[in-house]
Amino acid sequence: MRSAVLSSEIYPLAVADVLALPDANAPETDAADEIVVLLGRNPAPPQQTDASPLPDTLVKGRAAVERAAAAGEKFVPVRFAFVPANAWWDVFSAFIRKRRNKIRFYGSAVYHVPPAAIRALKIERAFKTRETAYSFTASIRRMTRQERDAEYDRISDSIKKNGFLDSEPVDIMLCRLTGAKDCVNNGHHRLGIALELGLDAIPVNFSASAVCPAVLRPVLRLFSTWNLAFKRRFQK
């Protein structure tokens, strides 16, 4: 089995969510204050399956989480680890979307994260607002201004009425871009609406797939950061 790879970002997860995770079999060996969650391996998001063949586990940092809970803190900084689905010699799956999606897997849990913290990480392809919502460039997906406003209002009204449901979490894919940089995969509009509504936390699930060779990750992570900034600027 390949060695685990770390997410490119650190996420503030709700303390209660992390405390609920089972411990991994491996004993803690690193800094006690570092909190690491190992992503499980499940074929579909948690809202679509009753079984969790490999659940998310807390690899290290339970003592830090318990201290945070005792101090009344709501969130703790967590880095995710995952075992890539591609073989060590497979350098293509990280760059080809069709192959990457074919071997994609999901964690077993839904976590609650402040939407402002996700925005601060700059891992969205676009910062969606009412003005930029559903501004697709592909002609087959283009919507009129009226259609865009109507869909935006529909989602906003639903969240106002029912809350941001755990059954419809924002999806963040670890090391999605060039196999090196985390990126929001689904839920850009709901994230933007959550920020507009001033929500304290929203449900998020994490997925992963393939990674690029370790020697290339620092360079490709920088490239992906620049590429995301470009996409956001021009709403690509």
Residue 23 DSSP class: B
pLDDT in tens, 152-177: 999 999 999 999 999 999 999 999 99
Determine the Cα–Cα distance for residues 228 and 204; give it in Å rounded to an integer: 20
pLDDT of res. 137: 56
pLDDT in tens, 224-234: 999 999 988 87
Neighbours of 49 (CB within 10 A): 13
Determine the Cα–Cα distance for residues 58 and 40; give it in Å rounded to an integer: 10
At 12, which amino acid appears? Answer: P
pLDDT in tens, 96-144: 999 999 999 999 999 999 999 999 999 999 999 888 888 765 555 678 8
205 contacts 45 by C-beta, under 8 angstroms: yes
Q: Which residues pair with 36 in a beta bridge?
A: 60, 79
The pLDDT-based confidence of 183 (bands split at 50, 70, 90) is very high
Between 221 and 47, whose confidence is greater?
221
pLDDT of res. 134: 83
Neighbours of 205 (CB within 10 A): 25
176 contacts 192 by C-beta, under 8 angstroms: no
91 contacts 202 by C-beta, under 8 angstroms: no
Give the residue carrying structure tokens 């989602």. 155
pLDDT of res. 147: 87
Instruction: State the helix-helix crossing angle for 188-197 and 145-162, rounded to 10 degrees.
Output: 60
143 contacts 134 by C-beta, under 8 angstroms: yes
148 contacts 213 by C-beta, under 8 angstroms: no
pLDDT above 80 for 28: no
User: Dihedral of the CA atoms 219, 220, 221, 222 (nearest 10)?
Assistant: 60
Determine the Cα–Cα distance for residues 169 and 190; give it in Å rounded to an integer: 9
Residue 136 DSSP class: -
210 contacts 179 by C-beta, under 8 angstroms: yes
pLDDT in tens, 54-72: 999 999 999 999 999 999 9
